[in-house]
């Protein structure tokens, strides 16, 4: 409507390009989400949030900015949301799941860069992301080579702070990360003028723990057969967790989980009992990257878990909330964040164990490993994981793909053949 358009104009969006994006997004959402059968009522909240992702949520953010709140954009689950919230700032995920502005992006980063990186640069250059345009600070991190080098170019376009994330989990590496957590805390205090204290940090640790607990609850409920919720819907919930207001989000997910419990108690599901169950594992999938989940769930299978940063890797571990000094709380944050099993670590053996645990806990019949094309870390681990899983008799299909739709048919043929042999 007119008020939204006025807001987007103020954010300096390219109005016609942005309209095009919303149109594609709406069509895609209709085909992939609204066409599903047996959806839970609680998903209406998510449908609404998604339909208003560039509307009401941005309005809320702009209203908060008008009262002096700051907005922090991130690309990685290593940036501690607890600190952002303690500094009374808004924390949003910026990774982008669609091709846009690719030609322009390829002038700043090499062509053989993964689609996720090209996409966040492309969104900025094309001026179509109101979240990016709302940020007072964007926080990058030294994870994969693609991202850390891309931030040198991206840092010329937006105000940036880059956290150094170590590549190993030695004691020295944890010390380095702690120093980086402290440096992020100071950057936040400087930007917001809010001092991070025992009180506000305790509160934000609890807010984020509660959000993660609600998502853990959802994840546990998906162990049921028949699967009570589609993998697409669960992925959407995890995607929305990166930009919705956290306390409202937690409440809606808990309400949805109540409905799922009722459905399970009645023996109901989103697919018939006995439908083949797949674990999706690998690179994060940002909105609207729903291609592979859609292909998988149109191939006589249901997705029962996401071993991904937009999934279990962001949710599995809570922050120990027993400390009562800033020092102790920062240590608890460091301990929690250094448990993340991102493929950028070497070695990263705990991921191999975590995937197997998820297969067991969620009663999955097989794993589909997803690596974005040109993503070195996850492509390496696909080889390793295939080996580990085959020794345990767990079937795995390794997929490499980007955001383009041109390989949908080919993917479908491969996934169908995989599901048939399970």
Name which of 276 and 313 has its Cβ closer to ligand BJ8: 313
In the complex, minimum distance from the CB of residue 371 to ligand BJ8, in angstroms, rounded to a whole number: 7
CA–chain centroid gap for 152, Å, is 23
Name which of 42 and 311 has its Cβ closer to ligand BJ8: 311
DSSP codes joined into one string, 159-218:
-EEEEPPPSS-SHHHHHHHHHHHHHHHHHHHHHH-PPP-HHHHHHHHHHHHHHHHHHHHH
By rule CB under 6 A, what count of residues binds ligand BJ8? 21
DSSP codes joined into one string, 143-173:
-SHHHHHHHHHHTTTS-EEEEPPPSS-SHHH
Which residue, 237, 314, 312, is CA-closest to 82?
314
Which residue, 71, 74, 215, is CA-closest to 143?
74
Is residue 377 involved in binding ligand BJ8 (CB under 6 A)? yes
CB 94 within 8 A of CB 132: yes
CA–chain centroid gap for 122, Å, is 19
Name which of 7 and 158 has its Cβ closer to ligand BJ8: 158
Binding positions for ligand BJ8, 74-93, rule CB under 6 A: 76-78
In the complex, minimum distance from the CB of residue 376 to ligand BJ8, in angstroms, rounded to a whole number: 6
Is residue 177 involved in binding ligand BJ8 (CB under 6 A)? no
In the complex, minimum distance from the CB of residue 119 to ligand BJ8, in angstroms, rounded to a whole number: 10
Which residue, 87, 4, 39, is CA-closest to 260?
39
Is residue 94 involved in binding ligand BJ8 (CB under 6 A)? no
Is residue 32 involved in binding ligand BJ8 (CB under 6 A)? no
Is residue 292 involved in binding ligand BJ8 (CB under 6 A)? no
Name which of 143 and 252 has its Cβ closer to ligand BJ8: 143
Is residue 286 involved in binding ligand BJ8 (CB under 6 A)? no
Binding positions for ligand BJ8, 125-144, rule CB under 6 A: 143-144
Binding positions for ligand BJ8, 257-276, rule CB under 6 A: none
Is residue 117 involved in binding ligand BJ8 (CB under 6 A)? yes
Listed in sequence order, the residues at least 6 apart from 50 whose beta carbon sits closer than 8 Å to its beta carbon are 29, 33, 236, 240, 287
Is residue 116 involved in binding ligand BJ8 (CB under 6 A)? yes
Which residue, 322, 335, 327, 313, is CA-closest to 171?
335
Other CB atoms within a 10 A radius of the CB of residue 339 amount to 13
- Give the DSSP H or E segment for 383: helix 376-391
CA–chain centroid gap for 421, Å, is 30
In the complex, minimum distance from the CB of residue 79 to ligand BJ8, in angstroms, rounded to a whole number: 9
Residue that is written with structure tokens 């291609």 in the block: 291
Name which of 76 and 389 has its Cβ closer to ligand BJ8: 76
Name which of 45 and 378 has its Cβ closer to ligand BJ8: 378
Name which of 251 and 373 has its Cβ closer to ligand BJ8: 373
Which of 43, 100, 108, 114 lies at the binding interface for ligand BJ8 (CB under 6 A)? 114
> Per DSSP, what are the bridge partners of residue 366?
278
Which of 139, 375, 382, 399 lies at the binding interface for ligand BJ8 (CB under 6 A)? 375
CB 119 within 8 A of CB 99: yes
In the complex, minimum distance from the CB of residue 416 to ligand BJ8, in angstroms, rounded to a whole number: 25
In the complex, minimum distance from the CB of residue 401 to ligand BJ8, in angstroms, rounded to a whole number: 11
In the complex, minimum distance from the CB of residue 141 to ligand BJ8, in angstroms, rounded to a whole number: 7
Which residue, 101, 84, 85, 98, is CA-closest to 53?
98
**In the complex, which residues of this chain contact ligand BJ8 (CB under 6 A)?**
76-78, 114, 116-117, 143-144, 146-147, 283-284, 309, 313, 340, 342, 344, 372, 375, 377-378
């Amino acid at each position: 409507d007119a008020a939204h358009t006025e807001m987007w104009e103020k954010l300096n969006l390219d109005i016609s390009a942005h309209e095009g994006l919303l149109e594609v997004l709406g069509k895609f959402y209709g085909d992939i989400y609204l066409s599903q059968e047996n959806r839970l009522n609680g998903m209406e909240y998510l449908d609404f949030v998604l339909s208003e992702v560039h509307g009401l949520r941005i309005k809320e953010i702009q209203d908060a900015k008008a009262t002096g709140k700051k907005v922090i954009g991130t690309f990685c689950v290593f940036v501690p949301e607890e600190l952002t919230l303690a500094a009374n700032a808004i924390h949003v995920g910026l990774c982008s799941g669609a091709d846009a502005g690719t030609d322009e992006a390829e002038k700043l980063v090499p062509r053989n860069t993964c689609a996720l990186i090209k996409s966040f640069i492309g969104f900025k250059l094309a001026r179509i992301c109101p979240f990016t345009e709302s940020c007072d600070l964007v926080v990058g991190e030294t994870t994969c080579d693609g991202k850390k080098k891309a931030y040198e170019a991206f840092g010329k376009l937006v105000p940036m702070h880059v956290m150094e994330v170590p590549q190993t989990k030695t004691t020295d590496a944890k010390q380095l990360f702690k120093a980086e957590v402290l440096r992020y805390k100071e950057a936040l205090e400087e930007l917001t003028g809010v001092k991070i204290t025992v009180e506000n940090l305790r509160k934000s640790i609890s807010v984020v723990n509660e959000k993660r607990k609600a998502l853990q609850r959802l994840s546990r409920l998906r162990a049921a057969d028949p699967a009570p919720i589609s993998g697409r819907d669960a992925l959407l919930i995890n995607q929305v967790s990166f930009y919705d207001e956290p306390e409202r989000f937690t409440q809606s997910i808990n309400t949805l989980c109540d409905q799922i419990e009722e459905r399970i108690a009645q023996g109901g599901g989103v697919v018939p009992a006995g439908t083949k169950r797949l674990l999706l594992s690998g690179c994060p999938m940002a909105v609207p990257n729903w291609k592979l989940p859609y292909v998988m769930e149109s191939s006589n299978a249901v997705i029962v878990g996401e071993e991904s940063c937009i999934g279990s890797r962001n949710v599995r571990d809570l922050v120990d909330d027993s400390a009562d000094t800033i020092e102790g709380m920062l240590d608890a944050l460091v301990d929690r964040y250094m448990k993340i099993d991102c493929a950028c670590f070497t070695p990263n053996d705990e991921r191999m164990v975590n995937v197997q645990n998820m297969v067991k806990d969620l009663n999955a019949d097989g794993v589909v490993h997803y690596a974005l094309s040109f993503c070195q870390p996850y492509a390496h681990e696909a080889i390793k994981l295939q080996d580990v899983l085959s020794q345990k008799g767990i079937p795995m299909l390794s997929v490499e793909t980007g955001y383009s739709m041109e390989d949908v048919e080919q993917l479908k043929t491969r996934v169908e053949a995989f599901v048939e042999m399970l």
